[in-house]
Structure 1
């Protein structure tokens, strides 16, 4: 373990940029995981980080000390920061004092849609994107494709909302969703408040590519027209529609119900 005490240190400067700049995260292909849960999930599912960053006071925390020991056992770099420097980087108020610096995966698009997948068309709220990733992972969905207008999946807010789902599903960003749909070997289902078929009446026992759209505008017309089916989630009451993350969860677990029944 080494200790950094200067704000002029190159690693500290990199951490500061990654903590505050989406452009820096995209350009460098790196991001920060803040907290015990995300760090444990990364260790369990992906292995050692590029760097384990810990505040000096957090070393007295048994959970943090255990993660630091696991990193050292895997020969990962561990760096301690005085609390003042650590708090200048961390975006989590009253956090535990632990973060990982990791490389974000770079993947080539599959040749065709062939397994359960999610297509996010201009879903802009990071909390919604993270919640959809979390529900997708829990439902056994393995691929998520995001348009260029969708919130950056490796931002801190999306990472916190997804609770480790990033390390279970394959995430593809800046995808031409219309071109991807043309390759599909499976049914493509889009949700629409104007659809006549209920999601509960669709046959979801085979792989499906789900399309979810912008929080206010929904799925773009070109994608909607390319869908194999459009489905609606019936609801009672005076609300116009469900939140997109809630809508996605209903669809995913209706598919799980059908597969298991």
Structure 2
């Protein structure tokens, strides 16, 4: 395992740039997985990382040493950093000192949409995006299509909120949602306050595409026109609307409930 002790080391500079700049992550096609849980999930579902980074202060930690051993057995390059250098690139407060550098997955866009999927129109909050990904994975959704303007799915905040869900999904970014929805041979459902049909009255026994939009503005008019059905989630009149991540979870698991009948 190589030890890096200087902030001027070229590899360290590259890691710090990826850790702190969304633009750098997108340009490099790489991101950092920070913490034991994400690293374990990646090894379990996707394989080996490009690089394993550990803090000198935690190399004796049992969970870290187990992951480090797995990486070394797979001939993954491993480096150690002094705690101060490690913390300068870590996005997790009081985290356990291990990170993976990985290539951002780029799945092949399907020709037709025939299995339950999610389309996200200009969803901007990383926490909301991560929560939706986590709920989608738990509900057995396979594909997530993100429009330009949607938060970068592989940013540290989104990945922390997703808790490993990323590795169970096909995530497509900077996608023309109008084109994708035109390829759907299954119903496209959007939530709306301007309809009387509730989510519980909709037939969700088949695969569908769920369409969710910007936290404040909702789904754009041109995309709403692509929806084959609109549904509402019943709630108390005193509350104007639900958080988009909460709405998505309700929709996903109502579909799960109907399909378990």
Shorter-chain TM range is over 0.9
Using structure 2 for the length normalisation, give the TM-score: 0.98
Distance, in Å, in 2 between the alignment partners of 1:71 and 1:77 is: 8
SS in 2 for 1:211: strand
**TM-superposition CA deviations, 1:87-142 (whole Å, max 9, x none):** 11112121211111000012231111111000000110000000000000000000
Q: Which residue of 2 aligns with 1:32?
A: 32
**TM-superposition CA deviations, 1:172-231 (whole Å, max 9, x none):** 000000111111110000111112210111110111000000000111111111100000
Distance, in Å, in 2 between the alignment partners of 1:175 and 1:105 is: 15
Q: Which residue of 1 aligns with 2:59?
A: 59
Where does 1:169-248 land on structure 2 (aligned, <5 Å)? 169-248=169-248
Q: Which residue of 2 aligns with 1:111?
A: 111
SS in 2 for 1:110: coil
Where does 1:24-173 land on structure 2 (aligned, <5 Å)? 24-173=24-173
SS in 2 for 1:206: coil
Task: Give how far 1:237 is off.
Answer: 4.9
Distance, in Å, in 1 between the alignment partners of 2:160 and 2:93 is: 13
Distance, in Å, in 2 between the alignment partners of 1:223 and 1:57 is: 50
Distance, in Å, in 2 between the alignment partners of 1:12 and 1:116 is: 41
**TM-superposition CA deviations, 1:150-190 (whole Å, max 9, x none):** 10000000000000000000000000001111111100001
Task: Give how far 1:18 is off.
Answer: 0.6
CA RMSD of aligned residues (A): 0.8
**TM-superposition CA deviations, 1:37-70 (whole Å, max 9, x none):** 0000001111111001000011111011101001
Task: Give how far 1:9 is off.
Answer: 1.4
Q: Which residue of 2 aligns with 1:9?
A: 9
SS in 2 for 1:226: coil
Name stretches of at least 5 consecutive residues in structure 2 with no aligned partner. none
SS in 2 for 1:159: helix
Distance, in Å, in 2 between the alignment partners of 1:62 and 1:160 is: 22
Runs (4+) of structure 1 exceeding 6 A deviation are none
Distance, in Å, in 1 between the alignment partners of 2:70 and 2:195 is: 51
Name stretches of at least 5 consecutive residues in structure 1 with no aligned partner. none
